[in-house]
Structure 1
Amino acid sequence: MQMPIELMEDIPEPVRHLIEAVSRPGVEISPTSLRRAHQAGRNFGPEGARLSGVNRGDDFLFAAAGVSTRLAEAAGNVRAIINAYGQVVANPRPDLTQLARWQDVSPGGLRHRYTEAHVIAIRHVMSDDPLVDAILDPLPGVFDEDLRGVSPAIDRQLEVRAEMRVRCGEEMEKLFGKNPQAVVLDAAGVSSFDLGRYRLIADLGDVMRVTLARIEPVLAEQYVRWVEDLLVVRKQQQQQEPRRRDRKNS
């Protein structure tokens, strides 16, 4: 979703870039476009889901459902960012009556369209010392690579995160080989060296911490700080969310 620059020039640059970053281009839901996407290696389903070929009716339904889910995630992310920024972070605020009108809700309904986690994510986007995990946490379907270019501070942290994943992955391959039976297990019990598929680097937990502590202590210390910072952020969310719900009901 590319907006004319003059429509966005009064919005802080990092917020503008975040909106653009999470606004994924649409994919036409037709057999031809899905077949081309599938042949190009694009997968719109859950991890590990593969199609035998979208010529079959079932495969078309599965792929179309996957595409629509990804588009819904992107649309939900954009709407949450816009409402959290407009109602809480922006100074001065936009015309909230018009913001609500463009979404077919009452002004009071805007608060139902974002959480405290979205507010915190936007504040981190605008910060000189952001926490990438805090930005990714409330935005399903958004990964490190989607945030590149949002701000110089975020780019610097993304480089360190990428280095952590590379160093950890290389060390794990040395220890266990390229195809271990079980090294890193996600919620579905799938083992993988593709550390990039874990959106939040904190989710790698002791695997990342112990590995980095052995080969790169400085990176290990940074990793521990990020994990601890995310715990602080989540505690802040838990403390603020009831107050936000109270404001909704007032």
Structure 2
Amino acid sequence: MAAVEPDPPEDEGDFVLPRALEQVVQGLYRRVIEKSEVQLARPVDIAPSEYANATLHLRVATMAESALKDIRALINAYAHAVAEPRPSLQGVAAAQGVTPSNLRRRYKPVHVAAVRELLAERPVVDVVQFAFPSVTDEQLVGLSGALDNDLALRGRIRVAEYDYSVKIFTGVVGAERAQELAESNTSALVKEWYGASGVAARDINNRPLSMLQGPSLEGATAELGPEYTAYLTRELDAFGVFRRGLN
């Protein structure tokens, strides 16, 4: 049986993203759709006093806006600064209603660095999530065996850091307040980059490791063992080099 040829691109000058980038883009779309479907399932024919959900709409809209901005920045950075050979920049620009000369304003150096990481065999995940705040660990699963192992280490480190922070804070402020402090235990870096609303909106289970405070992160990782310490050192050292390169 003859192989079925894929349909040609709808837009003249369209192009195919590398698998890693396509997976991330589809993951971001999926997240927007899933959250939106939850909102669409909410009733609209009852009294507002019985069912207040306006702020939930705002939360979903903010999440969707961030995810869609990440998609646009990722594709623009790849097309304009990474792809070899470059796709038709006229087509890339036309799809956004701008001229090719405006493409450079639609991404930043951080996005280029993150795209290059995504195309690597073992990306520095903190660089990716710093540039694209909507990207979660889950959206990166399956890109490579080495990365899958790193993602498993990251998840365990986050849990251990949270438990370690709660344990320390409990002795000072009590259990309930300790959990609040552990959940807000982020570095000045994330406040600088994401802003206060961005910090509150991020899923704790997907925070970049560089967002977490040093002592609790290092203490928790040391208790997990040398494999975790080696990974954390690699990730934070590489992220530090990346950050210094932006200045």
TM-score of Structure 1 vs Structure 2, range by shorter chain: 0.7 to 0.9
> Paired residue for 2:59, among 50, 66, 69?
66
Correspondence list, 1:110-189, <5 A: 110-171=103-164, 179=175, 181-182=177-178, 184=182, 185-186=185-186
CA RMSD of aligned residues (A): 3.4
Report the residue type matching 1:208 in the other structure.
L
1:112 CA drift (Å): 0.8
Identity of aligned pairs, percent?
A: 27
Q: 1:117 to 1:32 in 2, by over 3 A?
A: closer
TM-score (ref. length: structure 1): 0.71
Q: Which residue of 1 aligns with 2:25?
A: 19
Cα distance in 2, alignment partners of residues 172 and 228 from structure 1: 23
Report the residue type matching 1:219 in the other structure.
Y
1:59 CA drift (Å): 3.0
Q: Which residue of 1 aligns with 2:221?
A: 212
Runs (5+) with no aligned partner, structure 2: 1-5, 197-201
Cα distance in 2, alignment partners of residues 218 and 195 from structure 1: 25
Superposed CA deviations along residues 85-139 of structure 1, whole A, max 9, x for unmatched, are 0001111111001110110101011111111111111111111121001111111
Runs (5+) with no aligned partner, structure 1: 37-52, 189-193, 239-250
Superposed CA deviations along residues 59-104 of structure 1, whole A, max 9, x for unmatched, are 3321222221111111101100110000011111110011101101
CA contact (8 A) 1:31 1:54 kept: no
Q: Which residue of 1 aligns with 2:71?
A: 78
Superposed CA deviations along residues 150-196 of structure 1, whole A, max 9, x for unmatched, are 444432211111122234445556666693533533467xxxxx994
Query: Comparing both structures, which one devotes a greater share of its residues to helix?
Result: 2
Q: Which residue of 1 aligns with 2:41?
A: 33
CA contact (8 A) 1:35 1:55 kept: no
Cα distance in 1, alignment partners of residues 157 and 145 from structure 2: 19
Cα distance in 1, alignment partners of residues 223 and 115 from structure 2: 35
